Structure 1
């Protein structure tokens, strides 16, 4: 049976990774091409696949083995809780905090009039100082406007909301794969060719009153999501 060279190269790279630890240098493209007896383009494509999967990463002029992806639960827990559960240090960088009017879809999701001012909070999400996500949160200002005076945007928004006595009831989420815009790629220190996981969420409290609409973009090479399912 004639096994395709790309498959042989990818299998060989997987074997090399099995013998390395996080942070170890990965062999350069030229060395790998000579080892497997293939063109450098074949090796380059296999390395790109590993980059997208988050198993290796560029560091300076070289390539090293990545640390495991941050696994986020699909639940009404905050990003902070998910990061800490994996022993990672969460952080946030404020990009935008403004009061704006939004399109009809977001206004309807928040149950506000199209002319109402909505609080928009945009932050870069960090794990151990590595940029892994870009989160845009829309909150009804008539309900959460006082956060402007009391909330530290580098901390957990969910904790601040819960501290006000608001109890999350449920959320609807949709996840899909997208490519980032040039601005998004720059904020995430990535490229427009790196696939991202786009999460759209609408959360309501225990009385069904809207809390937030969220658009969160996560680096596909840095983050994975998991859910616990049952048949009840």
Structure 2
């Protein structure tokens, strides 16, 4: 049986990554689960291997660290969920850095490009539907009026990282099915082709699990945590413009925001 152990790595807050757990995740009683000690050592190995580097097999890792394969398996599960590793074929490789998306009116395209990656989208559906009652108020319509529903898989360097559903009134973008390139930025289309600018938005973010269909489209296990953003956008005149449901892989995305210098720091 594996017993608690001390992980190899920094144990003092001043020695560790500021984004890491306090005391490197060591509980106050000082007893560390064996899998966590192995996880810390594999995490260090990840840094040595570099992006896309192949990880040794579970058997090799178990022999290297002198633990049971189930202990290694538990450590790998957490590293996969954290986005530090990814499955490739039958093996496991080191994942690249997460995409940082600003929580602002900047488009997905702009956010990914700032990370030095190539944005893309793959169209799943573009349908004209009758506006359902729950959606009508959000985009300033009456129930039953025509609405576009556009669903696209989000890509970063051809890697599937999310799924986006956009709802917009047909009378705002009547030629969406003819003029719009589905792999391009919807914001840029509105701005450059129609002269429509975004004036503001209300957003809500939560953690969810993908449905089986969503997991299949994004290419992830159903148990993988996702970051879900609901957004209702308005134009510069304050008129409702679109409602968007964006689902992002929790292991491949993080979100950033900026507060002005006048914002009070600290906690009550």
SS class of match (1:10): helix
Pair 1:154 & 2:183 matched: yes
Aligned residues of 2:132 and 2:144 also touching (Cα < 8 A): no
Pair 1:208 & 2:238 matched: yes
**Structure 1 residue corresponding to 2:219, chosen from 189, 192, 211:** 189
Aligned residues of 2:122 and 2:153 also touching (Cα < 8 A): yes
The equivalences for 1:21-170 within 5 A come to 21-163=50-192, 164-170=194-200
Per the TM alignment, residue 32 of structure 1 is displaced from its structure 2 partner at its CA by: 1.5
What is the rounded CA distance, in whole Å, between the counterparts of 2:31 and 2:233 in structure 1? 53
Per the TM alignment, residue 219 of structure 1 is displaced from its structure 2 partner at its CA by: 1.1
Matched pairs, number: 232
Deviations 1:38-95 (A, max 9, x none): 2212211110111111111111111111111111111111111111111111111110
Distance verdict in 2 for CA 1:81–1:2, change over 3 Å:
closer
What is the rounded CA distance, in whole Å, between the counterparts of 1:149 and 1:229 in structure 2? 40
SS class of match (1:113): coil
Distance verdict in 2 for CA 1:228–1:130, change over 3 Å:
same
Task: Provide the TM-score with structure 2 as the length reference.
Answer: 0.83
Per the TM alignment, residue 104 of structure 1 is displaced from its structure 2 partner at its CA by: 2.1
Distance verdict in 2 for CA 1:176–1:2, change over 3 Å:
closer
What is the rounded CA distance, in whole Å, between the counterparts of 2:62 and 2:31 in structure 1? 19
Deviations 1:13-50 (A, max 9, x none): 12212222111111211112222222212211110111
Pair 1:198 & 2:241 matched: no
Task: Provide the TM-score with structure 1 as the length reference.
Answer: 0.95
Aligned residues of 1:92 and 1:123 also touching (Cα < 8 A): yes
Per the TM alignment, residue 2 of structure 1 is displaced from its structure 2 partner at its CA by: 4.2
**Structure 2 residue corresponding to 1:222, chosen from 252, 255, 260:** 252
Aligned residues of 1:119 and 1:145 also touching (Cα < 8 A): no
What is the rounded CA distance, in whole Å, between the counterparts of 2:169 and 2:70 in structure 1? 51
What is the rounded CA distance, in whole Å, between the counterparts of 2:155 and 2:62 in structure 1? 35
Per the TM alignment, residue 215 of structure 1 is displaced from its structure 2 partner at its CA by: 0.4
Q: Which has the higher contact order (CA 8 A, sep 6+)?
A: 1
SS class of match (1:142): coil
- Computed over aligned residues only, the root mean square deviation of the Cα atoms, in angstroms, reads 1.3
SS class of match (1:183): helix
What is the rounded CA distance, in whole Å, between the counterparts of 1:165 and 1:150 in structure 2? 14
